[in-house]
Amino acid sequence: MTPVNLKSLAEELNMSIATVSRALRDSHEVSEATKQRVRALAAARHYEPNAYASSLRRNISKTIGVVIPKVANHFFALAINGIEEAARQAGYHVLIYLTHDDYAREVSIVQHLKGGRVDGLLMSVASGTEDFAHIKSLREANIPIVFFDRVCAEVATAKVTTNDYESGYQATEHLIQAGCQHIAHLLISNNLSIGQFRQQGYLDALAAHGRLADPDLILHGVMDNQQNVGLIRELLLRRPDIDGIFASVERLAISAYHVCNELGRRIPQDIKIIGFSNLEAASLLDPPLSTITQPAYDIGREAAKILLRAVEKKKAVLPSQSVVLESTLFQRRSTAQG
Partner DNA sequence: TTTATTTACGTAAACGTTTGCAGCAAATCG
Partner DNA sequence: CGATTTGCTGCAAACGTTTACGTAAATAAA
Question: Where do contacts with its own copies occur on this chain (CB under 8 A)?
Answer: 1, 46, 48-53, 55-56, 61, 63, 70-74, 77-78, 80-81, 84-85, 88, 93-98, 111-112, 114-117, 137, 140-141, 254, 257-258, 261, 279-281, 284-288, 297
Segment contacting DNA by CB under 7 A, of 24-32, 164-172, 244-252, 307-315: 24-32
Partner in contact with 334, chosen from its own copies, DNA, none, beta carbon below 5 to 8 Å by kind: none
| Per-residue exposure over 322-334, b if at least 16 CB sit within 10 Å of its own CB, e if not | bbeeebebbebeb
Answer for which of 6, 122, 178, 273 binds DNA (CB under 7 A) is 6
23 or 186: CB nearest DNA: 23
d(CA 184, CA 176): 12
Answer for which of 1, 26, 46, 59 binds DNA (CB under 7 A) is 59
35 or 70: CB nearest its own copies: 70
**At closest approach, how far in Å is the CB of 136 from DNA?**
22
d(CA 69, CA 306): 21
Partner in contact with 17, chosen from DNA, its own copies, none, beta carbon below 5 to 8 Å by kind: DNA
33 or 72: CB nearest its own copies: 72
| Per-residue exposure over 105-120, b if at least 16 CB sit within 10 Å of its own CB, e if not | bbbebbeebbeeebbb
Partner in contact with 22, chosen from DNA, its own copies, none, beta carbon below 5 to 8 Å by kind: DNA
Segment contacting DNA by CB under 7 A, of 25-33, 261-269, 277-285, 303-311: 25-33
**At closest approach, how far in Å is the CB of 303 from its own copies?**
16
Q: Is the CB of residue 132 less than 8 Å from the CB of residue 103?
A: no
d(CA 193, CA 150): 7
**At closest approach, how far in Å is the CB of 100 from DNA?**
28
Number of alpha carbons in the 13 Å side-chain half-sphere of residue 28:
0
d(CA 334, CA 327): 19
**At closest approach, how far in Å is the CB of 200 from its own copies?**
29
Number of alpha carbons in the 13 Å side-chain half-sphere of residue 257:
17
58 or 313: CB nearest DNA: 58
Q: How far lies 299's CA from each of 4, 34, 50, 281, 292, in Å?
A: 41, 45, 32, 21, 15
Is there binding between residue 71 and DNA (CB under 7 A)?
Answer: no
